[in-house]
Amino acid sequence: MNARNTLNSDRQTWQKAYATRLLITDFIVTAAAVAISQFIWIADGSLLQGRDDAALNIPLTYSLLSAMLVLAWMLFLDIFSSRDHKNIGTGALEYRRIVDATVFLFGFLAIAAYLLKVELGRGYFLTALPLGLLGLLLTRWSWRQWLHRRQRTGAYQSRTLLVGQASKVQHIAEAVQRDGSTGLFVVGGLTKSGPRDGAAAPSVDLLGTFDDVLAVIDSHQIDTVVFSGADDMSPKQLRKLGWRLEERRVSLIVAPTLTDVAGPRIHARPVAGLPLIHVDFPEFAGRKQLLKRAFDVLGSSALILLSSPFMLAVAIAVRASGPGPIFFTQERIGLRGEPFKMLKFRSMVQGADNQLASLLDAQGTSDKPLFKVLNDPRITPVGRFIRKYSLDEFPQLLNVAMGEMSLVGPRPQRAEEVALYDDDAHRRLFVKPGMSGLWQVSGRSQLSWDDSIRLDLYYVENWSVTADIVILWRTLRAVVAPGADAH
């Protein structure tokens, strides 16, 4: 076996091994959830009522139903491609597939029970579904953390070659290097002029021109080629390139020029032999917004009840920290530019706002639309602690309950900051501001304004309730273990 076949075999081996790990843990989780549910509600595995199976000579018991349910659950997870290597390891699509498979399975069973007139215990299903779904999501998340740790050490990655125009190769290289969990290791790139295009693509080593693609693949042991588009390569040439890659078992990925668009908005549709990509409009109103609002109301109400003892303790600590009110209210800009009063526990000395302009001038950031003061001297000792663990943000649950904010969304900013927005940044105001957001869980205080606005706009264009749940989970992790970048 030559080096090329060995490399592709290694990649396929780890992908199959990882999928097998997921298969085993999926089976353990679903079997445990169903077994626990049966033990709680039908400990003796009794016969189902309402169905005469004498003709089949098979006594339909809950034990048999449980076994069938586990197998069906595994089948639906496979049908929905929840273990496909293209869907696992990054993004929210893997979790979405798990949720969809589980909901469709239980919906199918409910319809089947009704049509067959089988009386099933409601508690049995209402316990198995959330237990199994929660277990599946947690184990998949755990395996993803395991995979990302391996990828950060250079293992479990695809050796990737970028092919296309220099500016597009540069853009893809920056995106892959910024996110260390893509599973792609960029070996280099090919452009029309090769190394002479280096000034236009400084983040990637240019290894040659388009004519060198097969030689570079063989010499650098490439197993994945990302084609980013080039006017100088005709459709016929690209088709032939695909054939040559197929012979070498090298994966081909075509990256469209349109970026920062999530999977649910993208639909591939072949038209006249052309693989056209349809992109849905972002949704800023309608059914999805009603669902998000319901999620906010239920979530904020539950969190207010659960966190009330902690908020009382914080209120007492803030009151004892020095003169000034317990709560700090400040006008922020919300949905469609409407101002509202945002609540926080006071973490600074009284009259701190009067010192902001001079502090921003002193550090030279008064013209940046992100008013952050490094080593802020206005913060009290109690305030420093509650800020590190984001306890000062908890009163904003009331803003969420009143409909002024959402649990997840771009952070609300002052009118002075919004006045510094360019046209792109104004799209942040197309959705309600949130207590937490994508950039908060991607770097917190260490991100630049450009990175922050890029992540916020990505959220605005591609938000979903599933993504909100993932962000809230990452927020919880950041609050419990804030790290050195929390201020």
pLDDT tens for 359-401 read 766 666 556 665 666 667 788 889 889 888 889 999 999 999 9
For the chain, the first-to-last Cα distance in angstroms comes to 54
Please tell me the distance from the alpha carbon of residue 366 to that of residue 29, in angstroms, as a whole number.
Answer: 53
Indicate the pTM of the whole model: 0.68
Please tell me the distance from the alpha carbon of residue 159 to that of residue 203, in angstroms, as a whole number.
Answer: 16
| 139 band by pLDDT with thresholds 50, 70 and 90 | very high
Residue with structure tokens 């090329």?
4
> How many residues in total does the chain contain?
487
Please tell me the distance from the alpha carbon of residue 376 to that of residue 64, in angstroms, as a whole number.
Answer: 64
Tokens of 238: 């690209």
- Assess whether pLDDT exceeds 80 at residue 460: yes
Closest CA to 43 of 146, 114, 124: 124
Tokens of 444: 């917190």
**pLDDT digits 0-9 by tens, 149-192:** 888 887 888 889 999 888 888 888 888 887 777 788 899 999 88
| 44 band by pLDDT with thresholds 50, 70 and 90 | low
To the nearest 10°, report the CA torsion of 366, 369, 370, 373: 10
* Helical axes 465-480 vs 287-320, angle rounded to 10°: 20
Residues whose CB falls within 8 Å of the CB of residue 19, separated by 6 or more in sequence, listed in order:
83, 84, 85, 88
What letters, b where the CB count within 10 A reaches 16 and e where it falls short, cover 140-161? beebbeebbeebeeeebbbbbb
Range 158-259 has CATH code 3.40.50.20: yes
**pLDDT digits 0-9 by tens, 281-319:** 777 777 888 999 999 999 999 999 999 999 999 999 999
In percent, the amount of the chain with pLDDT more than 90 equals: 30
Q: Where are the domains of the chain?
A: 3-152, 158-259, 287-480
Residue range 105-116: mean pLDDT, rounded: 81
- Model pLDDT, residue 327: 92
